[in-house]
Homo-oligomer: A and B are copies of this chain.
């Protein structure tokens, strides 16, 4: 399975600004990307990073500074066979979770993310195109229905958890199995429980 991994190399993870400096955010985004790349490869995927600017990586990287939708749909335009699109900040993704995604039948297979996002998708229908604006999971279901594509959902907490906000770092510490959790601990982050809520402190 060809797997596209869009990556914002320019200003990654700005919503983590309250807890990480710009250079830390850049490093953390790269650590998460490398975790996702490793999990994709172990699951049998053939990854290609679509980066907004050049990055130093042993992975196959294509630089394209156009918008997320434009870049992904350009690849779908020219694809032969199934294509997956997996977000670069799925720090909880495991090979098992990705294998379940790749192995699920359907013209369009969707892994919903919290807040209406589409954290991962498999496209096996030549007319399907992405639209990653807010509540994209709803839009992707509509687009699939319009072209008569069979939709399947993958029910995965690991794929459903993308890392955008400081609260998401608690998820990485609790459930991460890759380098991102270790990196956070090296930077001094640990779980903090306050008023029944779980967050992080440094």
Binding site for B on A (CB under 8 A): 94, 96-97, 100, 111-112, 114-116, 133-135, 137-138, 155-161, 167, 170-171, 174-175, 191, 193, 196-198
Number of copies of this chain in the oligomer?
Answer: 2
On whether A196 and B134 interact (CB within 8 A), knowing A114-B171, A115-B167, A171-B114, the answer reads: yes
Interface centre among A114, A159, A167, A193 (most CB of B within 10 A): A114
Query: What's the minimum C-beta distance from A137 to chain B, rounded to whole angstroms?
Result: 6
* CB-CB nearest in chain B for A134: B193
| Other-chain residue from B96, B134, B170 in contact with A116 (beta carbon distance below 8 A) | B170
Cβ contacts A to B, 30 pairs, < 8 Å: A94-B155, A96-B155, A97-B155, A100-B155, A111-B157, A112-B157, A112-B175, A114-B114, A114-B161, A115-B197, A115-B198, A116-B174, A116-B191, A116-B193, A116-B198, A134-B193, A134-B197, A134-B198, A135-B174, A135-B191, A135-B193, A135-B198, A137-B174, A138-B174, A138-B191, A155-B156, A155-B158, A156-B156, A157-B157, A157-B160
